[in-house]
Structure 1
Amino acid sequence: MKKIALWLMALMMAFNVNTAAAADILLGPGDVIKVSVFGNPDLSLETRVSQTGSISFPLIGEVAIGGLAASEAEKKIASMLETGGFLRKPQVNLIVTLLQSQQVSVLGQVTRPGRYPIDGTRTLTDILALAGGVGPEGGDIVTLVRTREGKTTKESIDLVDMMRSGDFNKNLELSSNDVVYVERAPRFYIYGEVQRAGFFRLERDMTVLQALSAGGGLSPRGTERGIRIKRRDASGKLTEINAKMDDLVQVDDVVFVKESMF
């Protein structure tokens, strides 16, 4: 339920965000556009912007529109048609039907991983909402990889902390070619005399008692006495400790429940 509430909030933010109008989208290679000139259906064109940032338009030939907003490209085409003597005060309309040049990659444990367009102002939660939110196996930590002025940085954002605190300073605005990666949720393992042995999601501040509950509780032959945890230390060495019910379980711990002697 916690994750459902979290992503309902994210979806609401996505739909209420003030996105830029289509006219503010900067055109780039790979974008598919549709151009029409009022009263001149023969000049209608649907084409893809080339790798050099240009298109070939009837009558005027090659037009460089890469890096221009859609509204600026409209004015440029209109100006070229008029200065070329082809039309007087042409009314040009340009819409982007497929935005390929400005996209963000969303990877890892989301419902719909893939590439999503930055069609205006998009924040981290906006893009995650477009990707369907964090999946059932997803954790609370999102890694954001960004490249600015040739320098690549990596930042980890705790979504749950951000939502609980209401501090959205970490809800960063994304740009083209950013990468959002949702980690798999941390796990622990439990085996021995429990109802359901296996691996389970490790919740925050989870105790041994809560771990037993996740495993369905003790089997008829199980005992709370002598529960042991196998854990790797910072050097990677495997250690074994006697566990109490209120001890905290850590990532990748293996909890073993012994059989009662009586």
Structure 2
Amino acid sequence: MSRKFAPFVSALFLILAAPVFAQPAPSSQSAAVAAPVSPAAVSPAAAAAPVPANQDYRLGAGDSIGVQVYQSPDLSVDARVSESGVISYPLVGSVQLGGLTISEAEKKIADALRNGGFVKVPQVNIVLRQVRGNQVAVLGQVSRPGRFPLETFNTRVSDMLAAAGGVTPTGDDVLIVTGQREGKPFRKVIDIPGLFLNEKSDDDIVLAGGDTLYVNKAPVFYIYGEAQRPGPYRIERGMTVMQALAQGGGPTVRGSENRLRLHRRDASGKVVETSPRLTDPVRPEDVLYVRESLF
């Protein structure tokens, strides 16, 4: 080779050898980190991660659960608790789970599989996928009626009443809680002042998903005639005729507290007119008439 082409040959050798000295290919570990994940590659089970649930949580309408049976993949299903509290389960059919805790629901499905002869020793595990039934409706005479979530598993009546802004001035002193307990209709009348005045009230019960709290309008009486402020008024506990007269501002200068007439319905619905004493109790829908003084 002539000296004229020697530099050219040396440069060509360095270009051809460059790939040999290139950086090494990324390791499998680094490639796994850098590789993008396709959304289609994410399984539905991973997308709907289980909801951490207290074992005392009771299943309600709308809750989505995953039922898994050990070594029986055909019996592992995802289900939604219906409005009536049941799910449809393979081989067994409809299973009532509403109002049951997670452990109680696991036992009920296991018993159904065992008693039906489908699995000898079933090991059932229930995962709470999504909580939708843990809401309580607060209706009636409250400041903010609506549906409220059960943020904890021991939310009580007083907590939910506070979340709704409390009772309005026209609200009654009692509320009614309705719902389901262990698959059966539930109804309880609760004294509202007793929830807060008593140190520990047995009426301050733990609420369950799907419960409804209702506060009715407070009972009223009516006063008219020679009263300073005639009209309807809320009946307070233990209210007497004298206190009812004071609610209306008392008699006018032409009226007399000794000439009162009370109109009240009896058991048959007939209106009976009487001359009440000032110490007599006032009942709902009573009509108090203040007559003029004789002198």
TM-score with structure 1 length normalisation? Answer: 0.64
Q: Judging changes above 3 Å, is the alpha-carbon distance between structure 1 residues 99 and 221 closer, same or farther for their aligned structure 2 residues? A: farther
1:109 paired with 2:91, answer no
Distance 2:50 2:183 in 1: 22
Give the structure, 1 or 2, with the largest relative contact order (CA under 8 Å, sep 6 or more). Answer: 1
Q: Judging changes above 3 Å, is the alpha-carbon distance between structure 1 residues 259 and 99 closer, same or farther for their aligned structure 2 residues? A: farther
Q: CA offset at residue 66 of structure 1?
A: 8.0
The match for 1:119 is: 151
1:59 paired with 2:34, answer no
SS of 2:262 mapped into structure 1: strand
Gaps of 5+ in 1: 1-38, 44-56, 77-95
Asked if structure 1 preserves the Cα contact closer than 8 Å seen for 2:221 and 2:235, the reply is: yes
Runs of 4+ deviating beyond 4 Å? 64-68
Q: CA offset at residue 226 of structure 1?
A: 2.4
Residue range with higher mean Cα deviation, 120-129 or 58-67:
58-67
Distance 2:47 2:133 in 1: 13
Partner amino acid, structure 2, of 1:243? P
SS of 2:160 mapped into structure 1: helix
1:40-59 superposed matches below 5 A: 58-59=40-41
SS of 2:206 mapped into structure 1: coil
Q: CA offset at residue 228 of structure 1?
A: 1.1
The match for 1:17 is: none
SS of 2:254 mapped into structure 1: coil
The match for 1:172 is: 205
CA deviations 1:159-182 (Å, max 9, x no partner) are 123433333111010111100001
Distance 1:174 1:118 in 2: 8
Q: CA offset at residue 148 of structure 1?
A: 2.2
1:194-209 superposed matches below 5 A: 194-209=227-242
SS of 1:258 mapped into structure 2: strand
* Corresponding residue pairs, total: 188
TM-score with structure 2 length normalisation? Answer: 0.58
Distance 1:215 1:151 in 2: 46
Q: CA offset at residue 99 of structure 1?
A: 6.7
SS of 1:236 mapped into structure 2: coil
The match for 2:260 is: 227
Q: CA offset at residue 260 of structure 1?
A: 1.2
2:243 to 205, 210, 222: 210
CA deviations 1:116-164 (Å, max 9, x no partner) are 0012121000000000011111111010001123321211001123433
The match for 1:35 is: none
Distance 1:67 1:175 in 2: 23
Q: Judging changes above 3 Å, is the alpha-carbon distance between structure 1 residues 249 and 71 closer, same or farther for their aligned structure 2 residues? A: closer
The match for 1:155 is: 188
Partner amino acid, structure 1, of 2:262? I
Distance 2:159 2:263 in 1: 40
SS of 2:263 mapped into structure 1: strand
Alignment RMSD: 3.0
CA deviations 1:184-216 (Å, max 9, x no partner) are 111110000001110001001111111111001
Distance 1:207 1:67 in 2: 61
SS of 1:223 mapped into structure 2: strand
Residue range with higher mean Cα deviation, 188-197 or 227-236:
227-236
SS of 1:129 mapped into structure 2: helix
Work out the percentage of aligned pairs sharing the same amino acid. 41
Q: CA offset at residue 65 of structure 1?
A: 8.6
1:1-262 superposed matches below 5 A: 58-63=40-45, 68-70=50-52, 100-120=132-152, 121-262=154-295
Asked if structure 2 preserves the Cα contact closer than 8 Å seen for 1:99 and 1:119, the reply is: no
